[in-house]
Amino acid sequence: MKAKFNVEGMMCAACSAAVERAVSKLDGVESAQVNLLAKLLTAEFDENITDITAITEAVKKAGFTAEHIDEKPDINPETEPQKAKFSAETTEKFTPVKTRLAVSVPLLAILMYITMGHMVGLPLPHFLHGTENAVSYAFLQFLLTLPIVYVNRKFFFGGFSAIRRKAPNMDTLVAVGSGAALIYGVISIFMIGYGLGNSRIDIAEKYVSNLYFESAATILTLVTVGKFLEERSKRKTNKAVEKLIDLSPKTATVLRNGKEITVKADEIHIGDTLVIRPGEKIPVDGTVTEGSSNVDQSALTGESMPVAKSEGDTVMSASINLEGAFYMKATKVGKDTTLAQIIELVENAGASKAPAARLADKIAGIFVPAVMCISLITFIGWMIAGQSLEFSLSCAICVLVISCPCALGLATPVAITVSAGKCASQGILVKSAAALETLGKADVFVLDKTGTVTTGKPAVTDIITYSVDKDELLMLAASIEKTSEHPIAKAICENYNGNTAKATDFTYTSGMGVSADINGKRIIGGNSALMKINRIDISPALDEAAKLSSQGKTPVFFACNYELCGIIAVADEIKPTSTQAIKALKSKGAEVILLTGDNKNTAEAIGITADVSYTVSDVMPADKSEFVKQLQKQGKTVVMVGDGINDSPALTQSDVGIAIGNGTDIAIESADIILMKSDLNDVVRASSFSRKTLKNIRQNLFWAFFYNVIGIPIAAGLLFPFFGITLSPMIGAAAMSLSSVFVVTNALRLYGMK
């Protein structure tokens, strides 16, 4: 069983790692993945061994709260719980972040004026001048710091609580760092008082010049500013999902008991007949039962042009009716609609782990304890080296506040979430982060033929006449083929727009063709074998038929009164965009293989026209999977693109399976990526998105690692013996806040992908 939970209280990668560890330890839990960005836990477990309650309790014991949510998103616009879930501004038990900033920033500005204003010649009140007023000077700083500490108390509650749970996190670093500075400042006040009371002016002067109240206040304020900017940036990463949710209309017009009534969108039932007027959004998936129109599906498929819909055609939720009114029958409602499934896929992609994130996850689990150890070693080391208590404490605090587990935790999920949302807006649905990452590394693309490279629907390509004119040949052919269900017969009938004649004495010869009487003439249509049985001389057409066959076309012979009258060739034509897409894939250095169960002549003709690397034909479904496996044994990363049931084993076997959107349900279920538009150019686009996303993830991870690897040693005072350079805790806090903002902002650049 798979279940999802909203988890509140997580602040950094150490928090998400703690949740994953707590849930993974439960018996029966197969996997537990946390999306820090969406505050989402996805757990797979054996419901015979454990249950949702046990998972919720495990999260609670880890120090967080978890609430089970439906596996598929609810997109009811009236309640919009999914949109609320994706909102980065969660309800806090403590002072809201904007209020914290409103209190902290002005008080910090006053505090900085008092402590540092004299450095730039700014005047101070008389009662704060001189050693004799040192207690007033220090105590005023303390009073200005207290409100900042109070409104930001969540860092202390969360940080020290995490220590008790033996799972320290980012709050712990901030709480210990700012708390140490605050305690040192309070001790300094007592030491100043002691010095003045005992005529030890030197003691008073020493401590009044090394107060750390401004450091404590600055750490708390700057971290809060950073979190505020980070949350604002993270909200942008979910805009693609929120826009999808907004696509669903709030109401719909339904026919019930012969009357049109307006109901809420979530009150529509399967089988209801809906009235869709021009300009209205389609609320659910269904089938057109009466009328016709052009429908804008761009929000779901990325298609720029409207799609014509008439009786019998399917329509999707959230698409827009542009012109005529029509009636439709609801076939999928609520959480089963196309829109709901797209939202779920985007959410799942963001919640899943990309391979590039594994190293960051491993480090996150030990990051905070390691930083606390480094801070302690820094303090002890400088004290042993003979530095002052103030210097040693400053370095130790700076190590704590400059360390940023948030950057590590956000490096991958923000990029994946932005990219998956961008892909969804282009009609490319990504099921997992791993698929999005792996696609960019692929060196072999294996393409199914029918419905993937070709249209999947036979069409008339050539008409050759002998004893009759073209119009008469088409009329005779359509007249005898109109009762047949064979795809070739349907293609011939669809190609003719005129009136057909009445056919009598209809005869069907299995595997060969048909014959019938029309206007007193015997008309025969079929392959060469049927012509031979009826002793019809087709020798004048054999060369032409052979040429058509070599091009992957199927020639159908027609005879009138046992005399050859023409050939109509039918073929499953290559999609206009397929050749362009294959060329683009090859230009990137990839090998493109056409893999099909069709016969060799047809397959090779299509392969030559499409300009694939090479063609493999006459392949059974099980053999397709084995072919992919053999490529993988050669060390190649294989992408399989298909649309039929026979492609599903290969889609599952491949490193990344891509299903064409109009394919069968089983093919779509087996795939990692779904193309809504059935356009191979979207394979190229998805591959490009993947490479850009992978590059962005690497940039984020590099920055997160580089920042911590460089920042922590500098904060510890590594450069001091050589260059006399140290960092103050205030600078460390600012750097820590900016690192997370940088990572999120860098990921947001993926919105501009093309």
Three-state SS annotation for 171-231: HHHHHHHHHHHHHHHHHHHHHHHHHHHCCCHHHHHHHHCCCCHHHHHHHHHHHHHHHHHHH
In this structure, what are the phi and psi dihedrals at residue 727, rounded to the nearest 5 degrees?
Answer: -110, 140
Q: Is 211 left (phi over 0), alpha (psi -120 to 50) or beta?
A: beta
Q: Which residues contact 199 (CB under 8 A, 6 or more apart)?
A: none
| Residue 375 φ then ψ, to 5° | -60, -45
Q: Measured between alpha carbons, how far is 526 from 507 in angstroms, rounded to an integer?
A: 12
DSSP line for 421-438: HHHHHTTEEE--HHHHHH
User: Would you call 279 exposed, middle or buried from its count of C-beta atoms within 10 A (0-12, 13-18, 19+)?
Assistant: exposed
Dihedral (Cα; 707, 713, 714, 715), 10-degree rounding: 90
| Residue 448 annotated in active site | yes
Nearest-angstrom CA–CA distance, 139 and 187? 11
Helical ranges in 611-661 per DSSP H: 621-633, 648-653
pLDDT of residue 89: 39
Q: What is the pLDDT of residue 90?
A: 39
Nearest to residue 21, comparing CAs of 12, 31, 11? 31
Domain coordinates of the chain in residue numbers?
2-71, 97-238+388-414+698-752, 269-332, 431-454+575-685, 459-571
pLDDT of residue 382: 92
pLDDT of residue 37: 62
Q: What is the pLDDT of residue 356?
A: 54
Q: Which residues, in sequence order, are CB contacts of 469 under 8 Å at separation 6+?
A: none
Contacts of 146 (CB under 8 A, 6+ apart): none
Count of positions (residues) in the chain? 754
The DSSP 8-state label assigned to residue 574 in this structure reads B
Topology of the domain covering 2-71: Alpha-Beta Plaits (3.30.70)
Biggest CA pair distance of the chain: 133
DSSP-assigned beta bridge partners for residue 307: 295
Mean pLDDT by 10 residues, the chain (754 residues): 84 75 89 77 88 90 83 48 42 70 90 77 77 87 92 85 75 78 84 87 80 79 72 56 69 89 90 91 92 80 69 87 89 83 63 54 69 90 89 84 68 76 81 81 89 84 91 92 81 90 86 88 91 92 89 89 93 87 92 85 86 86 82 92 74 86 59 84 90 86 80 87 79 70 80 74
Taking the CB of residue 665, how many other CB atoms lie within 10 A of it?
A: 10
Annotated active-site residue in 266, 285, 361, 448:
448
Centre a 10 Å sphere on the Cβ of residue 304 and count the other Cβ atoms it contains. 7
CA dist 678 and 680 (Å) reads 7
Question: What are the angstrom distances between the C-alpha of 138 and each of 209, 281, 605, 688, 715?
Answer: 10, 65, 88, 59, 26
Structure confidence at residue 79 (pLDDT): 44
- Whole-number pLDDT of residue 507: 87
Q: Write out 241-282 in H/E/C secondary structure.
A: HHHHHHHCCCEEEEEECCEEEEEEHHHCCCCCEEEECCCCEC
In this prediction, residue 226 carries a pLDDT of 66
459-571 adopts what CATH topology? Calcium-transporting ATPase, cytoplasmic domain N (3.40.1110)
Same fold across 2-71 and 431-454+575-685:
no
269-332: what CATH class? mainly beta
- 431-454+575-685 CATH, one of 3.20.20.70, 3.30.565.10, 3.90.1170.50, 3.40.50.1000: 3.40.50.1000
